[in-house]
């Protein structure tokens, strides 16, 4: 038994050291590996498979709303990046520069793509001429590079994978609708695929994206009650279009500047999955993006007919659209149980000689460990139902965590005390002043997460300055 437990025992208890627990899960569940370059990680096959499933689900949603995929270069000339002042100033500390090409010094330094607004604008200037050319609904799946000082697997890489949507519209209202539509797609995906409840809202002026007029966000709460910004959507107005001199002839035969949006999510979502659903036995994956939704373990596989019976279950579940794997290696069953528990596989299916006699199998849920006997004649229906039940249970547990660790505060002192003693989200009224926002960060250690769409009236005055309040804000400590 000690041998079978060894893999589980090697994980730090999450309530003892959450940071080390997180790192243990990333490496021991074989999601990621380190390289000789600080902040650059290897996505191992299992970790990359999770990203592929996320990408597949989101890509389908993007295309259903009329978006097309493109791919732009990884290098941006410095002269191009300088065209939008606010944008370049925000990214300057994180830019990595190429100054040599072969043996030649470059006249114009090249930035390794931290984001692609400027490249898209250069392209749009070349292809947008008339109102008939709009809207342009483009999305790019790629990697970007930001020279972060500190790094953590999935949460903060120097090079990371993401998608970035960049669209152009003839009318501001249409661009704003696009911004909201994509935020809602992210929220729906997080809740209905990743089982992660969200708080939707708008970023403050201080926290909005560099160069944007408005930034919207979906914020999630992790197991340790910290916030994770899981996705953002930005309305740029016509600022970039003016900076890059992008114009089109409208229906009125006059020249106009188009209105732009940008929106994106990244492999940070995988970090969110780990920190929302994981436990002391390892990873717990939401079934709808799990690379393996059900693993079949033959019990006493050396006995006649067991492997054949297990193989038949694989064929049936595969035909039913379930991502399934059979482990017929010579490892002990207990070792296999611990391995797939570590990897977060939603369902484990066991079948042995006694099960074959009774025409049944045993199904164990990863989220709560519950076992049930399932008649082989009902296999496909039962497995599909159980996968949905696992998703619903994971969502409900995460929703309880969010609800139970969201607190209201009326004063700065109360907000600080709540954060220090309990963590989580603290919601307060706010006067709208950046000075008060900075004071909350400096004195209570929290940044504004968002101005939620679902506003509540918690009082009449700002907790920092005592002046009339105009909005309710969520505050928190974020990854």
For residue range 3-25, list pLDDT tens digits in order: 444 455 589 999 999 999 999 99
Task: Give residue 88's pLDDT.
Answer: 67
Mean pLDDT to the nearest integer, 273-284: 97
pLDDT range class, residue 172, cuts 50, 70, 90:
very high
What is the DSSP track for 216-284? EEEEEE-TTS-EEEEEEEEEEETHHHHHTT--EE-TTS-EE--EEEEEEEETHHHHHHHHHH-BTTB--
Q: Range with the lowest mean pLDDT among 58-72, 90-104, 246-260, 348-362?
A: 90-104
Is the predicted pLDDT of residue 240 greater than 70, yes or no?
yes
Residue-wise pLDDT for 108-141, tens only, equals 999 999 999 999 999 999 999 999 999 999 999 9
Q: What is the pLDDT of residue 69?
A: 98
Confidence of residue 401 (pLDDT cuts 50, 70, 90): very high
What span, in angstroms and rounded, lies between the C-alpha atoms of 119 and 265?
19
Q: In whole angstroms, how far apart are CA 23 and each of 6, 270, 359? A: 17, 13, 42
Tokens for 74?
A: 């990884």
Predicted pLDDT of residue 93: 85
Residue 406, pLDDT > 90, answer: yes
* % of the chain exceeding 70 in pLDDT: 97
Per-residue pLDDT for 192 more than 70?
Answer: yes
Mean pLDDT of 101-108: 93
Residue 188 pLDDT > 80? yes
What is the b/e burial string over 290-312, where b = at least 16 CB atoms within 10 angstroms of the residue's CB?
A: bbbbbbbbbbebeeeebeebbee
Q: How confident is the model at residue 1 (pLDDT cuts 50, 70, 90)?
A: very low
Residue 274 CB neighbours (<10 A): 26
| pTM for this entry | 0.95
406-408 and 104-112 beta bridge pairing: unpaired
Report the pLDDT value the prediction gives residue 4, as an integer from 0 to 100. 45
Residue 83 confidence (pLDDT) above 90: no
Ordered domains of the chain (ranges, CATH) = 8-277 (3.30.930.10), 294-387 (3.40.50.800), 406-476 (3.30.110.30)
The answer to whether residue 2 scores a pLDDT higher than 60 is no
């Amino acid at each position: 038994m000690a041998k079978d437990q060894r893999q589980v025992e090697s994980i730090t208890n999450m309530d003892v050291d959450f940071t080390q627990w997180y790192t243990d899960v990333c490496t021991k569940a074989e999601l990621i590996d380190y390289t000789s370059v600080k902040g650059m990680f290897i996505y191992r096959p299992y970790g990359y498979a999770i990203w592929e499933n996320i990408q597949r689900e989101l890509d389908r949603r993007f295309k259903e709303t009329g978006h097309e995929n493109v791919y732009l270069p990884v290098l941006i000339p410095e002269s191009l990046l300088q065209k939008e002042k606010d944008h370049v100033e925000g990214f300057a500390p994180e830019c990595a520069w190429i100054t040599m090409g072969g043996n030649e010094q470059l006249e114009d330094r090249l930035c390794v793509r931290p984001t692609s607004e400027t490249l898209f604008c250069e392209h749009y200037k070349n292809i947008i001429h008339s109102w008939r050319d709009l809207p342009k609904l483009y999305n790019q799946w790629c990697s970007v590079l930001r020279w972060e000082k500190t790094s953590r697997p999935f949460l903060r890489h120097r090079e990371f994978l993401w998608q970035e949507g960049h669209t152009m519209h003839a009318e501001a209202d249409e661009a704003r609708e696009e911004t909201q539509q994509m935020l809602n797609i992210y929220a729906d995906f997080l809740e209905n695929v990743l089982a992660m409840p969200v708080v939707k809202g708008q970023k403050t002026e201080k926290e909005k994206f560099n160069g944007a007029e408005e930034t919207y966000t979906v914020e999630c709460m992790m197991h340790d009650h910290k916030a994770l910004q899981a996705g953002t959507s930005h309305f740029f107005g016509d600022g970039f279009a003016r900076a890059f001199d992008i114009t089109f002839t409208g229906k009125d035969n006059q020249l106009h500047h188009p209105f732009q949006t940008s929106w994106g999510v990244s492999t940070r979502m995988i970090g969110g999955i780990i920190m929302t659903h994981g436990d002391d036995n390892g990873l717990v994956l939401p079934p709808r993006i799990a690379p393996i939704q059900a693993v079949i373990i033959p019990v006493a596989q050396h006995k006649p007919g067991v492997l054949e019976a297990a193989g038949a279950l694989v064929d049936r579940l595969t035909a039913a659209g379930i991502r399934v794997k059979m482990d017929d290696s010579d490892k002990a069953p207990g070792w296999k149980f611990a391995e797939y528990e570590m990897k977060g596989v939603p369902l484990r299916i066991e079948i042995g000689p006694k099960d074959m006699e009774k025409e049944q199998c045993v199904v164990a849920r990863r989220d709560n460990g519950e076992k049930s006997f399932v008649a082989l004649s009902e296999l496909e229906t039962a497995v599909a139902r159980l996968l949905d039940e696992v998703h619903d249970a994971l969502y409900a547990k995460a929703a309880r965590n969010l609800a139970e660790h969201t607190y209201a505060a009326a004063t700065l002192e109360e907000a600080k005390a709540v954060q220090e003693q309990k963590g989580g989200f603290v919601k307060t009224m706010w006067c709208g002043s950046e000075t008060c926002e900075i004071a909350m960060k400096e004195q209570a250690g929290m940044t504004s997460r968002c101005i939620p769409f679902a506003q509540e009236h918690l009082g009449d005055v700002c907790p920092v300055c005592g002046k009339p309040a105009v909005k309710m804000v969520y505050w928190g400590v974020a990854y």
